[in-house]
Amino acid sequence: MTESSKKNVDSCRFCWMCRHICPIGKATGQERNNARARALGLSLVNRNALGLAEVIDNLYECACCGACTKECVTGWDPMLFTRQARLDAAMEGVLPEYIGRLVDNCLETGNAYGITEPEDFVQMEIQKHEKQEEILLFLGVDARYRAPLAAVNAIRVLETAKVSFTVLEKEPASGWQLEYLVSAVKETKEQMTACAKELNRFQRVVVFDPQDARICKREYPEWGVELTAEVVTFTAFVAKLLKTGALCPQNRNLTAVYQDPFQLARELDETQPAREVISAYAARREMLCHGKDTMWAGNLLMREWMPEVMLLVAADRIEQAERAGADAIVTASVSEYASLKAVKQDKIRILSLEELILGE
């Protein structure tokens, strides 16, 4: 573990001041689900009082959503040591079996789910946009393989706005899954570099999934991966289509709250475009934790090894939306949409931004 990570570990090991904003800790009520528990465990590992293998599962109970890092007034960063410890575990060969399997999938198929082809109906929509255009719509692995309707809806929104764009039949992995699972290994950078090479064939890349947007816009420069194409988030692109009149909003008779994806709000400083879009179609309210203070609502990758917890996390967010007096939650993240949708409830509608626009 680096000195910087050790310093962060020792600063966080006895401090719970970010407990209230940890979405997983709040949902599960388990003491181990907060930054302090991970730090305390790792501090004992660093002092040879505990083995890394004894805390490794706990390290994969963290979404790395950055709420704790944002909350810390001193500036300590629990994500730093969580990622570092995952890397150490990968290097020491003590990754849990369920993570090792997902890593292998990433390396073999480009996605943690180990799927090689999208479903036929998605493939058909993709093939309609094979032609090389200036704009690339980058769908991402979650939309292509786990939430195919979202992929189709994203394509339809751009079609509705009469945008000429390409969708790659074989889309490279952006590297976000590998980066999340094992952090900065050689293979992660290789994925990033290969992806950037493909993206650079276009003038502009509209990135549908905030998880990909974060990695392309924030991590590629950090890792020294050259990206010459202009990368735009799907939300920002759609907001612009509205402004230019390419999309004509209709009142959907809804009171909606926006589920800020942390990747956009906290890491890319983007909170307004989606709100502008929602306001054009619905009355908009705010949940208590919104914008940069957003509380994560679950994702598809972690559903692979902790599906019950993802349901609890999403249910917690639904409760917060209800308390805000909303009758719909609008999401801009494929993953959060799928998580929220998985909760069995009939009190509040879960809509993707695309569904709001398309009226579906």
Residue 5 CB, shortest distance to another protein, in Å, is 15
**Helices and strands per DSSP (H, E), number in the chain:** 21, 7
Please spell the DSSP secondary structure of 121-140, one letter per residue: HHHHHHHTT-S--SEEEE--
- φ, ψ of residue 232 in degrees (nearest 5): -125, 140
Asked if 3 and 11 count as a contact pair (C-beta separation under 8 A), the reply is no
Local structure of 256: helix, strand or coil: strand
Binding mask 259-298 for another protein (x = CB under 8 A): -----------------------------x----------
Residue of 2, 31, 130, 360 interacting with another protein (CB under 8 A): 31
* DSSP 3-state percent helix, strand, coil across the chain (nearest 5): 55, 10, 35
Which of 1, 6, 52, 57 binds another protein (CB under 8 A)? It is: 57
- From residue 63 to residue 82, the character string flagging contacts with another protein as x (rule: CB under 8 A) and all else as - is ---------xxx-x------
> Which CB atom, from 320 or from 333, has the smaller least distance to another protein?
320
Choices 28-36, 94-102, 173-181, 326-334; region in contact with another protein by CB under 8 A: 28-36
- Binds another protein by CB under 8 A, chosen from 5, 9, 15, 339: 15
Q: Does 12 bind another protein (CB under 8 A)?
A: yes
The 10 Å Cβ neighbour count of residue 39 is 23
Q: Which of 23, 41, 148, 175 binds another protein (CB under 8 A)?
A: 41
Task: Verify binding: residue 55, another protein, rule CB under 8 A.
Answer: yes
Does 116 sit near another protein (CB under 8 A)?
Answer: no
Burial of 118 (0-12, 13-18, 19+ CB in 10 A): buried
Work out whether 122 is an interface residue with another protein (CB under 8 A).
no
Query: What distances in angstroms separate CA 218 from CA 172, 214, 312, one per listed residue?
Result: 18, 5, 29
Is 48 a binder of another protein (CB under 8 A)?
yes
How far apart are CB 28 and another protein at their closest, in Å?
A: 8
Query: Looking at beta carbons only, is 19 or 156 nearer to another protein?
Result: 19
DSSP E strands, 42-133: none
